[in-house]
Amino acid sequence: MIILNLNLNIMLKEFREFLMRGNVVDLAVAVVIGGAFGAIITSFVDDIITPAILNPALKAANVENIAELTWGAVRYGSFLSAIISFVIIGFSLFLIIKAMAKLQNLKRKREEEEAAAEEPAGPSQEDLLTEIRDELKRLNAK
């Protein structure tokens, strides 16, 4: 009984370490945010895009809901709605990734500028030439 309890404690400790590993937590956050983002996009397509843009096309097809669009037994309306959602999600992710890349580039440039500002500035080319000239004059004067 004690051995079983000890093994259980070890397994729980290892399981806790596994869950707290960065990748698992990041993945869990991504899944939750992805689900919420999917709900937002679904609402955007169903509540804004469909009424504002697709309703004229739906009325021309004598259909009130995009899911009702059919061709025989094929319900292509739901498929069209899924394609619209996919395109919107893909474009949204593209914009988010592009913005993040731009922010990372700005951060990298700022860090490079700060590093360059911290480095001591050496003498200019004119200063070096002046020093060489003065040293040559001094050597020739001897």
Q: What is the token pair recorded at 28? A: 């869990």
The residue among 120 and 62 whose pLDDT is bigger is: 62
Q: Tens digits of per-residue pLDDT, 24-71?
A: 777 888 888 888 888 888 888 778 877 777 777 777 777 777 777 777
What type of residue sits at position 28?
A: A
Query: Which residues lie closer than 8 Å to 77 by C-beta, 6 or more apart?
Result: 63, 65, 66, 67, 68, 69, 70
- Give the pLDDT confidence score for residue 115 in this predicted structure: 80
- Residue count (the chain): 142
Is there a contact between 84 and 49 (Cβ–Cβ < 8 Å)? yes
- Give the pLDDT confidence score for residue 133 in this predicted structure: 92
- Give the pLDDT confidence score for residue 110 in this predicted structure: 92
The CATH-assigned architecture of domain 2-91 is Orthogonal Bundle (1.10)
Percentage of residues of the chain with pLDDT beyond 70: 92
- Give the pLDDT confidence score for residue 97 in this predicted structure: 87
Answer yes or no: is pLDDT of 19 > 80: no
The pTM of the full predicted model, rounded to 2 decimals, is 0.51
- Give the pLDDT confidence score for residue 22 in this predicted structure: 67
- Give the pLDDT confidence score for residue 2 in this predicted structure: 59
Q: Which residue has the tokens 């700022």?
A: 110
Dist. CA 96–CA 104, nearest whole Å: 12
Q: Name the packing angle between helices 22-44 and 2-20 (round to 10°).
A: 60
- Give the pLDDT confidence score for residue 105 in this predicted structure: 93
- Give the pLDDT confidence score for residue 107 in this predicted structure: 93
Which burial class, exposed, middle or buried, applies to 66 when counting CB atoms under 10 A from its CB (0-12, 13-18, 19+)? buried
Is there a contact between 92 and 38 (Cβ–Cβ < 8 Å)? no
A 10 A CB-CB count for 49 gives 17
The residue among 111 and 142 whose pLDDT is bigger is: 111
Answer yes or no: is pLDDT of 11 > 90: no
Tell me the domain boundaries of the chain.
2-91
Q: Which residue has the tokens 């001591």?
A: 120
